[in-house]
Amino acid sequence: MIPVMGPLIDAAEIDRVLDCLHSGWISSQGQYIPAFEKAFAEFCGTWSGVATSNGTTALHLALLTLGIGPGDEVIVPTLSFAATANVVIHAGAKPIFVDVEEATWTIDPQQIEPALSERTKAVIPVHLYGHPAPMDPILALAEKYRLWVVEDAAEAHGAEYRGRRVGSLGHLGCFSFYGNKIITTGEGGMIVTGNPEWAEKARMLRDHGMSRERKYWHPLVGYNYRMTNIQAAIGLGQMTKINDILEKKRRLAERYHYGFQGLAGVTPPPEASWARNVFWLYSILLSPENGKERDDLIRFLYQAGVDSRPLFYPIHVMPPYQGPGPFPVAERLSNCGISLPSGADLTFDQIDRIVSLIREFVSR
């Protein structure tokens, strides 16, 4: 079975983890955590990194750091992984859903203004499937209406907006290092920011709200959202190969693009002229007109030994969220989209096989 995505682990991670285990520093103190934070923040082109237990806790901490809480509203694109909305609810605030745009599959800046109220405190652009959100118009609105911008970059390590890496563009940027993300620590996450005060507050909230100078003194009600030194050791190992992973994924995306050229009924993933997409999951759209069912294609590929998956459901259609809609772009992308195997260790032969299976399906 060709998986959709999996981790690349070798001696770079194993040696560091063994060193960590031998050192005895296996909880959330130890040298690997600050080293990983520094390396990843630098990779993003910003100053501070705050490692967390996962991507969801990174997002939750980011909202808490900005003081977002009960009575506040946060603008969220409806096409995302549910965690983007869940963290708003965990913070006691209300997610306000808006549609995404066709050209990038990410939040449509034109939908933000009509969704604002006097309670709106923040917007969470999601760099979905590795494509950066259109940050300039979002930041202009944020400036105009005094909103915080928290980037959900969980799927987009290394993606670029006008030559700048995502995570460094808003007030705070959040990443996930889950096993299927661009790089992994098993479970893990990180907030990056250029503001050292926010980094300090996030560090405090991450560690039970405890003062960083005065042991067991708690100025804030905090959480245990810490990353372990073992996870950070894996992360530092992954940092030695992140550029290689991005490079390989780019070549694989080009191979897919090439394979789908001229194939009516299949639209490859977008890449705006100002964007560098990292193709976290290389996802295509099937045209609804050709009468082929997306779920049939998923089954067809599965029977041929190729794993794939549908795009996310729009969050507002699921029972706990029940937002007003309709959001036609998100709904159509969700109905027609399919994510294909995207691991950096795929071979051209495997891609060619996947492409020819899809060609066979679409034209039968």
Ligand X SMILES: *Cc1c(COP(=O)(O)O)cnc(C)c1O
Alpha helix segments (H runs only) across the chain:
11-23, 32-44, 55-65, 83-90, 112-115, 135-145, 196-206, 229-239, 242-260, 294-303, 328-336, 348-362
Amino acid at 85: A
The C-alpha atoms of residue 236 and residue 119 are separated, in whole angstroms, by 40
Helix (H) or strand (E) holding 149: strand 148-152
Q: How far is the CB of 145 from ligand X (least distance, A)?
A: 24
- Do the beta carbons of residue 281 and residue 5 sit within 8 Å? yes
Name residue, tokens 């901490």.
61
Among 46, 48, 65, 176, binds ligand X (CB under 6 A): 176
Phi, psi (degrees; rounded to nearest 5) at 330? -60, -40
Q: How far is the CB of 182 from ligand X (least distance, A)?
A: 11
Considering beta carbons, is residue 165 or 292 the nearer one to ligand X?
A: 165
Regarding 56 and contact with ligand X (CB under 6 A), the answer is: yes
Regarding 184 and contact with ligand X (CB under 6 A), the answer is: no
* Contact pattern for ligand X over residues 226 through 265, marking x by CB under 6 A: ----------------------------------------
Regarding 52 and contact with ligand X (CB under 6 A), the answer is: no
Regarding 189 and contact with ligand X (CB under 6 A), the answer is: yes
Cα dihedral: 296, 352, 79, 60 (round 10): 120
- From the list 79-87, 95-103, 104-112, 241-249, the region that binds ligand X by CB under 6 A is 79-87
Considering beta carbons, is residue 78 or 265 the nearer one to ligand X?
A: 78
Regarding 81 and contact with ligand X (CB under 6 A), the answer is: yes
Number of residues near ligand X (by CB under 6 A):
14
Considering beta carbons, is residue 185 or 292 the nearer one to ligand X?
A: 185
Token pair belonging to 275: 């964007």
CA 44 to chain centre: 14
Distances (CA, A) of 269 to 252, 305, 321: 13, 23, 27
Among 84, 106, 283, 334, binds ligand X (CB under 6 A): 84
Among 66, 154, 183, 236, binds ligand X (CB under 6 A): 154
Q: How far is the CB of 136 from ligand X (least distance, A)?
A: 21
Regarding 80 and contact with ligand X (CB under 6 A), the answer is: yes
Considering beta carbons, is residue 227 or 358 the nearer one to ligand X?
A: 227
Considering beta carbons, is residue 72 or 155 the nearer one to ligand X?
A: 155
The C-alpha atoms of residue 297 and residue 303 are separated, in whole angstroms, by 10
Regarding 129 and contact with ligand X (CB under 6 A), the answer is: no
Tell the burial category of 261 from Cβ atoms under 10 Å away from its Cβ (0-12, 13-18, 19+).
Answer: exposed
Among 7, 55, 125, 314, binds ligand X (CB under 6 A): 55
Among 43, 178, 256, 327, binds ligand X (CB under 6 A): 178
Regarding 54 and contact with ligand X (CB under 6 A), the answer is: yes
Distances (CA, A) of 80 to 106, 119, 252, 347: 9, 23, 24, 28
Regarding 83 and contact with ligand X (CB under 6 A), the answer is: yes
- From the list 8-16, 78-86, 194-202, 328-336, the region that binds ligand X by CB under 6 A is 78-86
The C-alpha atoms of residue 92 and residue 264 are separated, in whole angstroms, by 46
Regarding 152 and contact with ligand X (CB under 6 A), the answer is: yes
122 forms beta bridges with 74, 148
Chain residues binding ligand X by CB under 6 A are 54-56, 80-81, 83-84, 126, 152, 154-155, 176, 178, 189
